[in-house]
């Protein structure tokens, strides 16, 4: 079933303990698309500036990503600059220039409004809600968020939670939003706020799924060479939503399988700077790593 994502497209400048890269293609929607496209074509709703490189547009298009919803606005593309610390688990934002993304008012092309699978990447909750206002037949809607929106626009975020099927959030944010110190309580509390499904991302410690009918957890894929963690969460979401969209249904079994695929696509992402590894990989690479991951977690 068709899949649509609304989120950022960016140029990132990244420093890690082992190297650095300037102005590489990034953004939540970009990572999401490049992970989801292994499974299904993806419709991208985002905004860039006039400086967006033709080669990057070509890269997206050559990966089964429909860019009809990618607006090219006056001004520059969103830029983010960050520094990762030695353990790769913590990072510092050095600079943010929202540029065209600061005025982003997502508008779904008319022929896309009936897309059944929707992912609302991290953004202002009212902007995320505006996408839902345009969607005519949403079947499965998942959103991401971050500490900024929990701090500054909590009411809008709570209103959004009542309208979506699933929330993907990291562990610290889950505790912050729920007010619970214990992660299990935090996840269960978030379920009470509206979503049928909450996935808590724990980075190198894997992910946890809370659902009204079951709980499920997976470790991360055992990566011994993390080059750049940027985009891991969005690559996880892309694999997760892509897998579900391909299946066309949301059952307990499919949700678990999708979480494992998300784990796999996230693991590919962190093996290179930017989107290199994700964009070079084939579906067969995803499948062989998925099989390897099954061995790794199967009793």
For the chain, the residue count is 299
208-267 positions binding a copy of itself, by CB under 8 A: 208, 214-219, 222-226, 256-257, 260
Q: Per rule CB under 8 A, is residue 202 in the interface with a copy of itself? A: yes
Give the shortest CB-285-to-a copy of itself separation in angstroms.
Answer: 19
Q: Per rule CB under 8 A, is residue 109 in the interface with a copy of itself? A: no
What gap in Å lies between CA 75 and CA 92, rounded to an integer? 26
- Is 148 or 294 the residue whose CB approaches a copy of itself more closely? 294
- Is 45 or 264 the residue whose CB approaches a copy of itself more closely? 264
Lateral strand order in the sheet of 91-97: 19-26, 10-16, 78-84, 91-97
Which stretch in 46-54, 157-165, 230-238, 289-297 sits in contact with a copy of itself by CB under 8 A?
A: 289-297
- The answer to whether residues 238 and 267 touch, using CB atoms and an 8 Å cutoff, is no
Give the shortest CB-296-to-a copy of itself separation in angstroms.
Answer: 6
- Is 114 or 246 the residue whose CB approaches a copy of itself more closely? 246
Q: Per rule CB under 8 A, is residue 87 in the interface with a copy of itself? A: yes
Determine whether 93 is exposed, middle or buried from the number of CB atoms within 10 Å of its CB (0-12, 13-18, 19+). Answer: exposed
Give the C-alpha distances (Å, rounded to integers) separating 164 from 65, 83, 135, 241, 270. 24, 33, 12, 14, 28
Nearest to 298 by CA among 267, 262, 256: 256
Q: Per rule CB under 8 A, is residue 159 in the interface with a copy of itself? A: no
Nearest to 64 by CA among 28, 38, 87: 38
Q: Per rule CB under 8 A, is residue 288 in the interface with a copy of itself? A: no
Tell me the two tokens of residue 254: 């499919």
Tell me the two tokens of residue 291: 């099989």
- Is 96 or 217 the residue whose CB approaches a copy of itself more closely? 217
- Is 54 or 225 the residue whose CB approaches a copy of itself more closely? 225
- The answer to whether residues 14 and 274 touch, using CB atoms and an 8 Å cutoff, is yes
Which stretch in 19-27, 106-114, 156-164, 179-187 sits in contact with a copy of itself by CB under 8 A?
A: 179-187
* DSSP code of residue 102: G
Is 5 in a helix, a strand, or coil? strand
Q: Per rule CB under 8 A, is residue 176 in the interface with a copy of itself? A: no
What gap in Å lies between CA 218 and CA 216, rounded to an integer? 7
- Is 32 or 208 the residue whose CB approaches a copy of itself more closely? 208
Give the chain's end-to-end CA distance (angstroms, integer). Answer: 32
Which stretch in 60-68, 73-81, 84-92, 233-241 sits in contact with a copy of itself by CB under 8 A?
A: 84-92
- Is 205 or 249 the residue whose CB approaches a copy of itself more closely? 205
Nearest to 276 by CA among 36, 59, 58: 59
Give the shortest CB-89-to-a copy of itself separation in angstroms.
Answer: 10
Give the shortest CB-93-to-a copy of itself separation in angstroms.
Answer: 22
Interface residue list for a copy of itself (CB under 8 A): 86-88, 181-185, 188, 202, 204-206, 208, 214-219, 222-226, 256-257, 260, 294-299
């Amino acid at each position: 079933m068709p899949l649509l994502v609304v989120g950022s497209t960016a140029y990132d400048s990244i420093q890690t303990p082992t190297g650095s890269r300037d102005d590489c293609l990034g953004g939540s929607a970009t990572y999401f698309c490049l992970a989801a496209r292994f499974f299904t074509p993806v419709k991208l709703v985002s905004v860039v500036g006039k400086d967006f490189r033709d080669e990057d547009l070509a890269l997206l298009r050559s990966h089964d990503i429909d860019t009809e919803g990618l607006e090219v606005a006056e001004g520059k593309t969103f830029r983010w600059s960050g520094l990762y610390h030695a353990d790769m688990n913590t990072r510092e934002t050095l600079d943010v220039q929202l540029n065209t993304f600061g005025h982003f008012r997502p508008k779904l092309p008319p022929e896309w409004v009936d897309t059944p699978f929707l992912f609302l990447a991290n953004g202002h909750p009212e902007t995320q809600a505006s996408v839902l206002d345009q969607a005519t037949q949403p079947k499965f809607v998942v959103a991401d968020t971050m500490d900024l929106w929990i701090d500054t626009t909590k009411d809008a975020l709570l209103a959004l939670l009542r309208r979506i099927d699933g929330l993907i959030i990291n562990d610290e944010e889950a505790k912050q939003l729920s007010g619970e110190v214990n992660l299990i309580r935090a996840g269960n509390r978030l379920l009470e706020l509206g979503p049928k499904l909450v996935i808590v991302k724990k980075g190198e410690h894997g992910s946890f799924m809370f659902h009204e009918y079951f709980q499920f957890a997976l470790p991360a894929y055992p990566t011994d060479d993390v080059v750049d963690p940027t985009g891991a969460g969005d690559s996880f979401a892309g694999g997760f939503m892509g897998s579900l969209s391909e299946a066309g249904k949301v059952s307990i079994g499919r949700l678990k399988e999708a979480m494992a695929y998300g784990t796999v696509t996230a693991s590919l992402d962190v093996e290179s700077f930017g989107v290199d590894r994700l964009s070079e990989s084939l579906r067969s690479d995803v499948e062989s790593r998925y099989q390897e991951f099954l061995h790794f977690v199967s009793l």
